[in-house]
Amino acid sequence: MLICILLKNPPKIIIFIFVLLILPSIFTNSYAHLEQSTSGGVMQGDYFSYIGFDPRNPAPDERTKILFSIQDENGNDMYDIETMVEIYSDSMGKRIFYEPWITRNIGDFEIPFVFEKSGTYQIILSISDVKNLKEHVISPRSMPSSSSDCDCTRILFNISVSENWNDIWNSLMIVILILPFSVFGYALWNNYKNKRNSNQKFTKYETLRYVIMFLAFAGGLIHLSIYVDHAPLRIEYGMFLLLAAISQIGFGVLLLSTVLSAPSMLKKDMNFHKRNLVIYLFGLIGSVVLVGLYIYAVSYPPPLSPENHPEHIDMAGIIAKILELSLIGVIIYVMNWENKQKRIIKNNNN
């Protein structure tokens, strides 16, 4: 019903997709207790723990505030709890920081720290199940998350420290956001002016191709917003999300060539159909892979995951999958329509 209404009025569908573009920025991290949270929250034992950093992406030789928030399973603040914090370095293979047991009035607290080198670090937050003395020192261990000799709940956070994360993010925002949307806006405006000057109207097929572009751009934006949260956790996560964002936005840009093609090409150019098929398959296969990986990640612990549990389902992820499933459906519909046009061309040529 909603799709039918939107297809009859292209301006409405543009407004509708624009709202979808805005939603990710509203909901991303809205569930987190920390504004600078870089973890969607880890449920361990009876505690839900978040970690964050200020500045958001830690850099070597830079004073960083490590922010913690401990809540119960219902998301309520915890009070009068005992915590201990340790930091292990992958490159050094040893514990480089230890804060003994401290009673916290509230579960929100911060610890200043300077990461000396780039690399991967494990931050262990321990929450005591019994009353501990400050002198009760927990010795370093080969498996940081091990709770041996500790009546406590231990939560492990993996983070990656790099001096280039902020530069990568800023450069990528300029290239991936400003440039493609400028080209998209310019092409869209020129196409609109040409149609208006020739008294042409948008067909259902053209409108659907615009829908595909908007959905691809929206999916790319969501993966960029999620990149900010996952990049410090592990380099591979950040690279994958960047690749997903670049692929989705690149697919949208590629589709511009089909949108700007003259409608008459659909009826007489077989090469036009072949080119479209390659572009559609690129977007279709990529979207199916992303949806499949998401289903796996929320069902089982993802490969290379620093925590041995499935990813948490959040609003940004739900919106991203709705967009990608919609993208899959619209691409299949348009491919089927073009396939019918291709058969008509063959019959006419025969």
Dihedral of alpha carbons 185, 188, 194, 198, sign? negative
Query: What is the DSSP secondary-structure string of 149-218?
Result: T--EEEEEEEEEE-TTHHHHHHHHIIIIIIHHHHHHHHHHHHHHHHHHHTT----HHHHHHHHHHHHHHH
Residues 194 and 64 in one domain: no
> Residue 113: which CATH number?
2.60.40.1930
Reduced to 3 states (helix: H, G, I; strand: E, B; else coil), residue 20 is helix
Report pLDDT digits (tens) over 209-268. 888 888 888 888 888 777 766 665 566 677 788 888 888 888 887 887 666 655 555 555
Residue 35 within any structural domain of the chain:
no
Q: How far apart are CA 56 and CA 146, in angstroms?
A: 28
User: Which residue, of 128, 161, 194, is where some domain finishes?
Assistant: 161
Residue 120 within any structural domain of the chain:
yes
pLDDT of residue 320: 86
Per the structure, the complete domain to which residue 276 belongs is given by 2-30+164-349
pLDDT of residue 68: 92
User: Which residue, of 117, 132, 161, is where some domain finishes?
Assistant: 161
For residue 325, is pLDDT > 80? yes
User: Of the ranges 12-21, 118-127, 296-305, which is most confident?
Assistant: 118-127
pTM: predicted TM-score of the whole model, two decimal places: 0.54
User: Which residue, of 103, 134, 161, is where some domain finishes?
Assistant: 161
The closest of 130, 137, 146, 153 to 71, measured between CA atoms, is 153
Residues 339 and 204 in one domain: yes
pLDDT of residue 44: 76
**Tokens, residue 142:** 């080969």
**Element (DSSP H or E) covering residue 315:** helix 315-349
pLDDT of residue 184: 67
Residues 115 and 141 in one domain: yes
- Indicate the residue type of 158: N
**Beta strand extents in the chain (DSSP E only):** 42-44, 47-54, 63-72, 79-89, 94-106, 108-114, 119-128, 152-161
Residues 9 and 77 in one domain: no
**Tokens, residue 5:** 């209404």
Query: Is-contact 119 96, C-beta < 8 A?
Result: no
Q: How far separated are the first and last CA of the chain, in Å rounded? A: 39
Residues 136 and 222 in one domain: no
Query: Is-contact 86 144, C-beta < 8 A?
Result: yes
Among 19-33, 57-71, 81-95, 134-148, whose mean pLDDT is lowest? 19-33
Reduced to 3 states (helix: H, G, I; strand: E, B; else coil), residue 277 is helix
Q: How far apart are CA 280 and CA 335, in angstroms?
A: 7
Residue 111 within any structural domain of the chain:
yes
Residues 126 and 251 in one domain: no
Which residue do the tokens 């449920």 mark?
43
Residue 55 within any structural domain of the chain:
yes
The closest of 32, 14, 31, 33 to 22, measured between CA atoms, is 14
**Element (DSSP H or E) covering residue 19:** helix 10-27
pLDDT of residue 303: 72
For residue 300, is pLDDT > 80? yes
